[in-house]
């Protein structure tokens, strides 16, 4: 199923880097930036996370909560957060349950090779839990501007 602006964002329950349970429904009444990225400590994913970190105050002032999510483990996320001093939780979706809900685990092609992987996508979710925006052409070094525009 493909999600569209105006759809209710699928609720989920998963663990963050510290083993805390994160439920999307716990954030009703707040705007959420839920960004799916391929892998901790890779150049594009690091640029994206650091851009969100560097503009975190502006995102908070605009009323956003930021949640990152990838198929990496809690341990990997913890190291990534510590290394780059990230200010927001990262969700471990090793079994790809949340990726499947949001249709971000898809077939990809790179150098003629076909494989399954995370399609970098950001969902901006409004206070009522509806998808307000879907950013599919993520500019990793200026992602905050795409959200705040």
pLDDT in tens, 121-130: 999 999 999 9
Q: Does the pLDDT value for residue 2 go beyond 90?
A: no
All domains of the chain in start order, with CATH: 18-148 (3.40.30.10)
How is residue 139 written in tokens?
């500019």
Mean per-residue pLDDT, 1-6 = 87
Q: Does the pLDDT value for residue 1 go beyond 90?
A: no
Supply the pTM of this predicted model: 0.95
Residue % of the chain over a pLDDT of 70: 99
Mean per-residue pLDDT, 112-117 = 92
pLDDT in tens, 21-53: 999 999 999 999 999 999 999 999 999 999 999
Give the integer Cα–Cα distance in Å for 53 and 6: 27
Any idea which residue has 């805390």 for tokens?
Answer: 20
Average pLDDT, rounded, for the chain: 96
| DSSP-derived pairing of the beta strands 113-118 and 131-135 | unpaired
Q: In this structure, what are the phi and psi dihedrals at residue 87, rounded to the nearest 5 degrees?
A: -105, 5
Number of other residues whose CB lies within 10 A of the CB of residue 56: 16
Could you list the active site residues?
Answer: 45
pLDDT at residue 70, as a whole number = 98
Measuring CA to CA, which residue among 70, 111, 110 is closest to residue 93?
A: 70
pLDDT at residue 110, as a whole number = 84
Task: Identify whether the C-beta of residue 38 lies closer than 8 Å to the C-beta of residue 46.
Answer: no
In a 3-state reduction of DSSP, which class is residue 82?
A: helix
Give the integer Cα–Cα distance in Å for 141 and 134: 18
Task: Identify whether the C-beta of residue 30 lies closer than 8 Å to the C-beta of residue 63.
Answer: yes
Give the integer Cα–Cα distance in Å for 83 and 66: 18
């Amino acid at each position: 199923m493909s999600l569209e602006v105006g759809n209710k964002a699928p609720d989920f329950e998963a663990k963050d880097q510290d083993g805390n349970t994160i439920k999307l429904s716990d954030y009703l009444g707040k705007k959420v930036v839920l960004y799916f990225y391929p892998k901790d400590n890779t150049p594009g994913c690091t640029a994206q996370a650091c851009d969100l970190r560097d503009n975190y105050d502006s995102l908070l002032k605009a009323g956003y909560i930021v949640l990152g999510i990838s198929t990496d483990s809690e341990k990997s996320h913890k190291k990534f957060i510590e290394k780059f001093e990230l200010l927001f939780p990262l969700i471990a979706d090793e079994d790809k349950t949340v990726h499947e809900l949001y249709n971000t685990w898809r077939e990809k092609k790179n150098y003629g090779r076909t494989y399954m992987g995370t399609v970098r996508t950001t969902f901006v979710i409004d206070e009522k839990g509806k998808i307000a925006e879907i950013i599919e052409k993520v500019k990793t070094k200026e992602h905050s501007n795409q959200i705040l525009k």
